Structure 1
């Protein structure tokens, strides 16, 4: 009995000393602005739970940086790495409460010289240490994420029930594993109920396990809720504009999945260990 309780206590300590910051990169198998919408609403939900959150836009699509994140002329982390501006100048405060930064300048490229990439990775790591959770809006670059810090962190893939989206999600998984080796991925299914999302997840998880011997983790479902579009037209996130909407509840549940404090509380309740 004593040994069992010691094992439980050790497990709890591992959770409490979990990776901080938690770096979560999101890849999307959906068209349009779905990726930015997911990240902004998730970032606001995590921030609302009492965490310090920063979103990093890490693609060469400067239109997204301007349209969805309103970064405008905000300097990039690459400019910080090249010692053109201080780090604090590359961070913008959002109306939703979280911070935002961009990896690349307006005319940036995802191709870095080795020394430049190492310095950029160091700057990103320095920035990340100031936050509890870092959400990264990114794409693959030569079958990997643009920084080693991102490759070492968590990867969440967003998809829908559409067969083409499921196919694209599986391709993303294969591409990453071809470059980085076997690893786990989180799965978020958008425009679906919980039951519909679980069916999609079970199917893609079974294929991934059978053909690549990798495990996927179901992170949650985001329902097809018109309140998301209505909030976006208002320039707001759904938990702020429509806090009682189904989408708001879904984002809050997803936020708790990414919050280590919630994992600690769940483990305390499960094991009945007093800290």
Structure 2
């Protein structure tokens, strides 16, 4: 694999995709968001941090030689795990069926975050596919990202668990804003209705701002793309779900870039500290 020239490293936007409950379309969202970013001309890395039950590489039809499990075992470096996916999408795969990877310590999670500062790649976006739930790794990777996307669907358990995840991120990790993406919606009204239901509870009990990111329709073409081990934005670009994912990516590209460190664990912190100050910004 030939990597891009790393002569000018900039601070990539890091987007963590999470969900309280599994099976709501989190990994599918991560893959299609990353693929849509690449198709829009942005150098993008997809990081799979579902450390014990990883499947992003499988869903893209990739066969990794090394995974994050090998990095922790000292068998390779983080750069050695890089895979090149469709259209130049870079993928860092995690391990599947490795119980010890699901039981890493808090310090090891932070160590993985810091390891990305040594990855000399000119990236513009990194999308993190988290495990479902509120395990320490999920919380750390969300905290270390610039933006958190929580995927929900019209199931009571999905909504309840999403609220629990948002609550813990705000209370324990200082996350102040969360983007909500409705998945598997039956019609145009379902997404805003799910968001309104979640926002009512969050605004009443939590000091966190929710942003409605959009909705992904229940789509036969999306199911077929999963079976083909491709992103729907690549396999069936005219499908309704593909159009929805492109719109999500378009909105994400408009989010404000980070202008300085936030004082806690962060991906690519050295790049953030070393980048020039934004016009009009002041240093303390």
TM bucket normalised to smaller: 0.7 to 0.9
Indicate the residue corresponding to 1:206 in structure 2.
Answer: 200
Indicate the residue corresponding to 1:130 in structure 2.
Answer: 122
Gaps (5+ residues) in structure 1?
1-18, 265-275
Q: What SS does the aligned partner of 2:114 have?
A: helix
The RMSD of aligned alpha carbons is 3.0
Query: Structure 1 residues 205 and 115, CA, compared in 2 at 3 Å: closer, same or farther?
Result: closer
Count of matched residue positions in the alignment of Structure 1 and Structure 2: 245
Indicate the residue corresponding to 2:158 in structure 1.
Answer: 165
Which structure would you say has the larger Rg? 1
1:185 aligns with 2:178: yes
Structure whose residues are more often helix by fraction: 1
> 1:20, 1:129 within 8 Å by CA — same for their partners in 2?
no
Query: Structure 1 residues 120 and 240, CA, compared in 2 at 3 Å: closer, same or farther?
Result: closer
Q: What SS does the aligned partner of 1:251 have?
A: helix
Q: What SS does the aligned partner of 2:215 have?
A: strand
1:91 is matched with which residue: 82, 106, 120?
A: 82
Deviation (angstroms), 1:86? 3.4
Indicate the residue corresponding to 1:46 in structure 2.
Answer: 37
Gaps (5+ residues) in structure 2?
1-9, 258-284
Matches of residues 61-72 of structure 1 in structure 2 within 5 Å? Answer: 61-62=52-53, 64=55, 67-70=58-61, 72=63
Deviation (angstroms), 1:239? 1.9
Indicate the residue corresponding to 1:56 in structure 2.
Answer: 47
Indicate the residue corresponding to 2:271 in structure 1.
Answer: none
Query: Structure 1 residues 143 and 36, CA, compared in 2 at 3 Å: closer, same or farther?
Result: closer
Structure 1 length-normalised TM = 0.76
Matches of residues 213-228 of structure 1 in structure 2 within 5 Å? Answer: 213-228=207-222
Deviation (angstroms), 1:177? 2.5
Deviation (angstroms), 1:124? 2.2
